[in-house]
Chain A
Amino acid sequence: MMTKVGEVLLLLLLPAFVPHTDGTRYSLPGKPTEIKCRSPEKETFTCWWKPGSDGGLPTTYALYYRKEGSDVVHECPDYHTAGKNSCFFNKNNTLIWVSYNITVVATNALGKNYSDPVDVDVVYIVKPHPPEKLEVTVMKDQGWPFLRVSWEPPRKADTRSGWITLIYELRVKLEDEESEWENHAAGQQKMFNIFSLRSGGTYLIQVRCKPDHGFWSEWSSTSYVEVPEYLHREKSVWILVLVFSAFILLILTWLIHMNSHSLKHCMLPPVPGPKIKGFDKQLLKSGKSDEVFSALVVSDFPPTTSNYEELLVEYLEVYVPEQQELMVNKGKDHDGCLKSIGSASDSDSGRGSCDSDNLLMDKSGAPKEEQQQQNQEGDQIGKETQGPKEAWEKEAMPCANEDVVSPDASSEKVKTWPSVFSPVTPYSPLDPHNSLEMHKQHCLSNTQFPPGSPSSDHYIKEALQSSYWEVCFNNNQPYPQTKVHPQLQAHSDRNISAVNDRNAPTGRLLPTRMTEYVEVQRVNEENKVLLHPIPSGHSREKACPRVGQRDDYSKVKGVDSDNVLLLQREVVEEESMEMAGAAESCYTSSIAFTTPKLTACSPIALPVQDERVLAVSGYVDTATVFSPHT
């Protein structure tokens, strides 16, 4: 009974023994963790641990260690020197090169808790104190300042005896916010020099040390130093260079300014203007073209040499392509398409028709061949007709007739000219305007004009179209006298008008440049060749009878009373083939700018109306010869 009461009492009183502290639970203490040991000088060392939870009860900690090779367990000799939760091993208790096995135990009322054991060898846990007595001084080396940094090892480290060997490291920084620390390894020395300082800057310096096996110490306290101002030697050099270059620049500018004009001339040479001898720009601007062109005319053209024989061309050949031949054949209007020239080579009979279709082709193609053959002969002739030619060429520009235009190329073509033209010199000054105009008209008339349209004296269009005649020239013979000219002109005109029952060519006949061909109507008994123009437009050539042998009609015998141009007929054996095409003058009314081929001539009669004189050479310039017949 008593035991039972006792047990009940015990049971009742048991909770009283348990302390009531706000309902917290009591438990074993937490395990101590993170045992860390450090030795500052390799002679003593300290271990710290981190306590766990105390479990609500007062807890005590104890450190036990065991040396390697021995099983004897010792307890920490000193818990207080190093602070709370630490254990300090003094010199007598520290063994080097011997590993310690350390355990920390937490004890409270409820029980104990052991930490994990840790093995420690003092040699490897040395972390010295930072170096002391850091001194920085500014020293000068020939005007260049540098910093001398010196320090002392930590007080406790026994480096003097060699017990511990320390190596040092220092770092430097400018006082700016952006600058970084610059580390320097100093080895075992206790002094260091820093060069390349910024003038007037403030530097921060720190030092730390480490044993040859162990941990780095903390950085020492910062030392401040201010570098005095000094002029950088390099800057002065730069200033000198700048001043010098500025001076040189000034001189250069002045020089350029002085010679600006000549420099400009050298760098940007003036563009040469056009230079044509005798060509006056001002005249052209004024609008008087004839004066301008007259200025261009060479005064001594044509060469007034008495010896015309040199200038004579053997013969002129006019090449007509097949096409035109066909056209020639088609012509029906002429019954008596007398071809005094008997060459069958070319039905064109030397007529350079201003054929709209073949104009350019003919001009470019065929004549060139001829002219090259007669190059040397025609040169002289070319010269003589250079003058008027040039004039005409100016006019001819808009004609789109390349062949006609170029004076150079037409030197050959000019060969045909002489056959048609009389030397321009006599009359071109007299009536350059007319000639030009005629030529112009002549040029423009590439297409067929309605026949019979009346034209003024100066319009040759109709004349061109409607009148084709064949002019035969004899180059060998000297040209007839000028006096013949008027007669010829008048005669030719009249004759033509008589011959042509259609609308007579009112305009002047302008066989210039082979555009007009006069067809030999017949040869009368007096060896006069009556020419009649080939009517344009609807003229269809019929096959003109060809004389077997060619007669050369290039020579003008004279002009008779009736103002009939008398051409001398000469029989020339035709050899070249090109002559053939030129013989026939049965052409369509289209005007072709082909070189008329010379054929054998018999004296022809051309009604000459105009007062224009014939060329001295005997070539009839029908452009000026015939006045428009109204």
Chain B
Amino acid sequence: MHEKMTRGVWGLLLWPYILTVSMPLDCKEEPGSLTRCPSISQEKLLDRVIHHAELIYRVSEESCSLFEEMFIPLPLRLQSNQAGFACITKTLPIPSSKSEIEQISDKWLLHSVLMLVQSWIEPLVYLQTTLDRYDHAPEMLVNKTKWVSEKLVSLEQGVVALIKKMLDEGTFTTTYNEQGLFQYDTLPDMLESVMRDYTLLSCFKKDAHKMETFLKLLKCRQADKYNCA
């Protein structure tokens, strides 16, 4: 009796914890199931992901222009309509024209986004460390890159959740950022090192725009499959 009472009391005290444990976050809605998953709807999730991607793109654009002003001499500056140096993600199988995108499926679209996000997480971390090495890197630049790298991680989580939701796929971690993609060797030459960082930022800016565009297209497809691109 006494023991039952104590257990009951313990159960009463710990009932919120029990609830959370019993209900998995990424539960699947099965018809007839008693429990309802306390998860976000797909539209809202997509909206939030798109919002995230937009923010990331805007901040990366600001960081790139800041870096360019501070450290890149005028003649070496990339024109706005130039790509210049090769980006690290060029090898990825990502569609690069609208016609291609029109032909691609939703799945591939999502996966492309995921590929991009995952391949940029590490280089951004590296960029943070290199910026510390600079003599007079503006604090705003450092803060922005830090913010971007954090947000990228959360974007990855969102895209993963989206994939699970939209494609009903289980969590699978495909590591696209092979080690061959990015080298960490420190170049001895100061200018070259600076140029490499500059390239990094520019390429990331472009890829952020890609992510944003893909996600928006995805959204359109969700709403109206036949009129979108």
Partners in one complex: yes
- The one of A97, A163, A165 that contacts B96, using a Cβ cutoff of 8 Å: A97
Q: Are B86 and A94 in contact (CB under 8 A)?
A: no
- The one of B82, B99, B220 that contacts A119, using a Cβ cutoff of 8 Å: B82
Q: Are A119 and B83 in contact (CB under 8 A)?
A: yes
- Report the Cα distance A119→B79, complex, angstroms: 8
Is residue A124 contacting chain B, with contact meaning CB distance below 8 A?
yes
Is residue B181 contacting chain A, with contact meaning CB distance below 8 A?
no
Which B residues from 79 to 135 make CB contacts under 8 A with A?
A: 79-84, 86, 90, 96-99
Which B residues from 37 to 75 make CB contacts under 8 A with A?
A: 57, 61
Is residue A23 contacting chain B, with contact meaning CB distance below 8 A?
no
Which residues from B are CB-within-8-Å of A125? 80-81
Which residues from B are CB-within-8-Å of A163? 98, 213, 216-217, 229
Is residue A528 contacting chain B, with contact meaning CB distance below 8 A?
no
Which residues from A are CB-within-8-Å of B219? 162
Query: Binary interface profile of A, 79-102, with partner B (CB < 8 Å = 1, else 0)?
Result: 000000000000110111111000
- Report the Cα distance A118→B81, complex, angstroms: 9
Q: Which residue of B lies closest to A163 (CB)?
A: B229
Q: Which of A119, A125, A163 has the most CB of B within 10 A?
A: A163
- The one of B61, B80, B96 that contacts A96, using a Cβ cutoff of 8 Å: B96
Q: Are B81 and A120 in contact (CB under 8 A)?
A: yes
Given known contacts A69-B90, A161-B220, is B82 in contact with A97 (CB within 8 Å)?
A: no
Which residues from A are CB-within-8-Å of B57? 212
- Report the Cα distance A480→B228, complex, angstroms: 149
Is residue A281 contacting chain B, with contact meaning CB distance below 8 A?
no
Is residue B6 contacting chain A, with contact meaning CB distance below 8 A?
no
Which residues from A are CB-within-8-Å of B98? 42-43, 91, 94, 96, 163
Q: Which residue of A lies closest to B78 (CB)?
A: A119
Q: Which residue of B lies closest to A37 (CB)?
A: B81
- Contact residue range for chain A? 20 to 34
Is residue A123 contacting chain B, with contact meaning CB distance below 8 A?
yes
Q: Are B220 and A99 in contact (CB under 8 A)?
A: no
Q: Are A99 and B209 in contact (CB under 8 A)?
A: no
Is residue A213 contacting chain B, with contact meaning CB distance below 8 A?
yes
Given known contacts A91-B98, A162-B213, A162-B219, is B227 in contact with A99 (CB within 8 Å)?
A: no
Query: Binary interface profile of B, 21-42, with partner A (CB < 8 Å = 1, else 0)?
Result: 0000000000000000000000
- Report the Cα distance A181→B217, complex, angstroms: 37
Q: Which of A92, A124, A162, A212 has the most CB of B within 10 A?
A: A162
Given known contacts A69-B86, A96-B98, A97-B209, is B81 in contact with A158 (CB within 8 Å)?
A: no
Could you count the A-B residue pairs with CB atoms below 8 Å apart for me: how many are there? 74
- Report the Cα distance A161→B213, complex, angstroms: 10
Is residue A288 contacting chain B, with contact meaning CB distance below 8 A?
no
Which residues from B are CB-within-8-Å of A97? 96, 206-207, 209-210
- Report the Cα distance A42→B80, complex, angstroms: 15
- Contact residue range for chain B? 20 to 34
Which A residues from 479 to 519 make CB contacts under 8 A with B?
A: none
Given known contacts A94-B97, A165-B216, A213-B209, is B229 in contact with A158 (CB within 8 Å)?
A: yes
Q: Are A120 and B82 in contact (CB under 8 A)?
A: yes
Q: Are B90 and A160 in contact (CB under 8 A)?
A: no
Query: Binary interface profile of A, 124-165, with partner B (CB < 8 Å = 1, else 0)?
Result: 110000000000000000000000000000000010111101
Q: Are B81 and A121 in contact (CB under 8 A)?
A: yes
- Report the Cα distance A92→B84, complex, angstroms: 23
Is residue A68 contacting chain B, with contact meaning CB distance below 8 A?
yes
Which residues from B are CB-within-8-Å of A158? 229
Q: Are B96 and A121 in contact (CB under 8 A)?
A: no
Which residues from B are CB-within-8-Å of A69? 86, 90
Q: Which of A37, A91, A99, A212 has the most CB of B within 10 A?
A: A99
- Shortest CB–CB separation between residue B5 and chain A, in angstroms? 61
- Shortest CB–CB separation between residue A257 and chain B, in angstroms? 74
- Report the Cα distance A68→B96, complex, angstroms: 12
- Report the Cα distance A124→B217, complex, angstroms: 19
- Shortest CB–CB separation between residue A593 and chain B, in angstroms? 102
- Report the Cα distance A119→B97, complex, angstroms: 17
Which residues from A are CB-within-8-Å of B80? 124-125
- Report the Cα distance A125→B81, complex, angstroms: 6
Which residues from A are CB-within-8-Å of B83? 68, 98-99, 119, 121
- Shortest CB–CB separation between residue A226 and chain B, in angstroms? 39
Which residues from B are CB-within-8-Å of A96? 96-98
- Report the Cα distance A572→B173, complex, angstroms: 148
- Report the Cα distance A69→B220, complex, angstroms: 31
Q: Which residue of B lies closest to A36 (CB)?
A: B81
Query: Binary interface profile of B, 203-225, with partner A (CB < 8 Å = 1, else 0)?
Result: 00011011001001101100000
Which residues from B are CB-within-8-Å of A95? 96-97
- Report the Cα distance A124→B216, complex, angstroms: 18
Q: Are B209 and A162 in contact (CB under 8 A)?
A: no
Q: Which residue of A lies closest to B91 (CB)?
A: A69
Q: Are A68 and B86 in contact (CB under 8 A)?
A: yes
- The one of A37, A91, A98, A213 that contacts B61, using a Cβ cutoff of 8 Å: A213
Q: Are A119 and B81 in contact (CB under 8 A)?
A: yes
- Report the Cα distance A118→B79, complex, angstroms: 10
Which A residues from 102 to 119 make CB contacts under 8 A with B?
A: 118-119
- Report the Cα distance A42→B98, complex, angstroms: 9
- Report the Cα distance A42→B217, complex, angstroms: 14
- Report the Cα distance A91→B206, complex, angstroms: 20
Which residues from A are CB-within-8-Å of B99? 91-92
Which residues from B are CB-within-8-Å of A94? 97-98
Which residues from A are CB-within-8-Å of B90? 68-69
Q: Are B209 and A123 in contact (CB under 8 A)?
A: yes
9 intermolecular pairs with C-beta atoms under 8 Å apart: A94-B98, A96-B97, A96-B98, A118-B81, A119-B82, A125-B81, A160-B227, A160-B228, A161-B227
